[in-house]
Amino acid sequence: MSIPLWIRRRLQPATFGERGEQQAARFLRRQGHKILFTRHRHRFGEIDIIAVEGKTLVFVEVKTRRSEQHGRPAEAVDAHRQQRLTRAALAFLKSHGLLEYASRFDIIDVVWPEEQKRPQICHLRNAFPAVGHGQMYS
């Protein structure tokens, strides 16, 4: 009998990026955020973390790197990625009837050199505005 795929995936060790996302979620919890979803997938893309801070929904993109040799990890969240995140967030808000609630986009950049037990975490609150065309955009 073969092991179902969903069980095999749970048994695999977390990837480097997933470990960064886990550290980011832990960091947010310590800052008082309530984590609603991690790795939320939608046809428009994946949102790494969806959290609530006070009465604000927070859509978080996590970027994890071993070093800052090629710049801060957050710099990888370019205009195209911002637009994809905005579309995914809008779809989430629409599907859950939350369009009237305040929301923002944060980036957490995680630098985790191999020789260190714990990463350096930088939280960029309100890192970018919603980008694109439609009712959510500026």
DSSP lists the bridge partners of residue 111 as 65, 120
Alpha helices, DSSP H only, in the chain?
5-11, 16-30, 79-95
Q: What is the mean pLDDT of the chain?
A: 88
> How confident is the model over 15-73, as pLDDT tens digits?
867 888 999 999 999 999 999 999 888 787 899 999 999 999 999 999 998 887 788 88
* Residue 42 covered by a domain: yes
* Residue 58 covered by a domain: yes
Query: What's the CA gap between 6 and 58, in Å, rounded?
Result: 28
- Is the pLDDT assigned to residue 138 strictly greater than 60? no
CATH code for the domain of 88: 3.40.1350.10
Number of domains making up the chain: 1
Residues 6+ apart with CB under 8 A from 101: 55, 56, 57, 93
Query: What's the CA gap between 138 and 131, in Å, rounded?
Result: 7
* Residue 133 covered by a domain: no
pTM value is 0.84
> How confident is the model over 64-89, as pLDDT tens digits?
988 877 888 888 899 999 999 999 99
* Residue 27 covered by a domain: yes
Q: Are 73 and 79 in contact (CB under 8 A)?
A: no
Of 43, 37, 79, 76, give the one whose Cα is nearest residue 60: 37
Region 90-100: mean pLDDT is: 93
